[in-house]
Amino acid sequence: MLPVLFLIPAAASTILGLTFLAGVGGRPVIKILGISVFFAAVYLQFFSIYPLTGLILQTVLAMCLALWRKMDSTR
């Protein structure tokens, strides 16, 4: 059960990240920043000795991307 819980934030931030990258438009700096945070979180969660840090970073990234998407849709 625990490994499945680690995959939920990764899947959520992946889906939200892809929609974020598709909707950002021509802002390459924001795209690069989002991709680098995502890959840092994936590395921490799956390939380092700090999986909880990666899980928290994935969760925060997913929430930030969802908030960004919500704010962008209200404009």
Domain range for 19 is 2-73
Give the model's pLDDT for residue 26. 58
Tens digits of per-residue pLDDT, 5-52? Answer: 767 777 776 777 777 777 666 577 777 887 788 888 878 877 888 888
Among 40, 5, 34, 7, which residue's Cα sits nearest to residue 18? 34
pTM over 0.75: no
The pLDDT-based confidence of 56 (bands split at 50, 70, 90) is confident
- Calculate mean pLDDT across residues 52-74: 80
Counted domains in the chain: 1
